[in-house]
Amino acid sequence: MAGRRLVSAAVRAVAVASLLMFAADRLGAQDPWAVPVDAAGCLARHAELRAAPEDENNLAARFLLHFACGALAEARSDVAALRRLAPEGPLGWRFGLRLDALDPSRHRRTRAEAERFLRRFADDPTVSPAERQAVAGLRDWLAAELEHAEAVAAAGRRARAAPFAALALLLGLVLLLLARTRADEG
């Protein structure tokens, strides 16, 4: 379970980081973080963006708004629509990141795939400084998440094994007491 969440979270994080930079780039002079601070403002902006033509800028702004508000279903729809409109788009797709194709319980493979992606990314001369900055934070986050997932998996293994070890010790005590009583009886 921890691995599955990690993989989906990693995919989300890569998508979010790349889409935020993509959105910032496409929105040009606009402040990509200018999402209204209150619910009423966000809902008004949502209505305004829904009424406008659905182009890359519009979808990027919608994604930023929906993600900031936690409307993740809407944000996922925005991503899907952006992928259809801009297949050459953000760096996750450009590099063919396949984290979502991995076995979620195999942390070593997840780590290996993530390292492969990050190496290709680091070697690509077309990556902008802003994208590098976004992914630098992502690398640290991913490393921490992998470490946490591995710690949780190890704890799970300990928690499954510990009762059997404890039962063995307890049975040992019982057998020892039984042997003593038999010796006394004998």
Partner 1 sequence: MTALLAAALAGFAALSLEILGVRWLAPWFGTTSLVWTNQIGVVLAAMAAGAALGGRLARSGRPPLPTAAVLLGGAGLLLALALALLGPFCAWLLPPDLRLEEAAGIAVGGSLAGALLFFAPPVLLLAMVAPLLVEARSAARGAGRAAGEVSAAGTAGSLLGVFGSTYLALPVLGIRPTLALVAAALVLAGALLASAGRRCRRAAPALLPLLPLLAPDPAANANLPALPGLESEVREVRETPYQRLRVVEFRDPAAPGPVERWLQMNEGLDSYQSRWLPDSPWPGGYYDLFALAPCYALDGAAADRPVRFWSIGHACGAALGPVAAVLGGRDWRAVGVELDPAAVELGRKWLPATAAAAARTEVVIGDGRVALRGAPPDLDFLLVDAYAAQFEIPGHLATLEFFREARAHLRPGGVLALNLGTAARRAGRGRTVRGILGGLVEAFPAGGVRLHEVPFARNVVVFARRERPLAPLDALAATLPGGLPRELAGAVLPGQVREGPALDPGRPFLDDRSDLALALAREWLGGDS
Interface residues with partner 1 (CB under 8 A) are 1-2, 4, 35-43, 46, 66, 68-74, 76-77, 148, 151-152, 154-156, 158-160, 162-163, 165-167, 169-170, 173-174, 177-178, 180-182, 184-185
* 8 Å CB contact between 72 and 66: yes
Place of tokens 């009583």: 181
Q: What is the smallest separation between the CB atom of 175 and partner 1, expressed in angstroms? A: 10
Q: What is the smallest separation between the CB atom of 121 and partner 1, expressed in angstroms? A: 24
C-beta closer to partner 1: residue 116 or 158: 158
Q: What is the smallest separation between the CB atom of 120 and partner 1, expressed in angstroms? A: 29
C-beta closer to partner 1: residue 110 or 117: 110
Helices (H), 95-128: 107-123
C-beta closer to partner 1: residue 71 or 102: 71
* 8 Å CB contact between 114 and 146: yes
Place of tokens 């990050």: 118
Taking the C-alpha atoms of 162, 166, 168 and 169 in order, what is their torsion angle to the nearest 10 degrees? 140
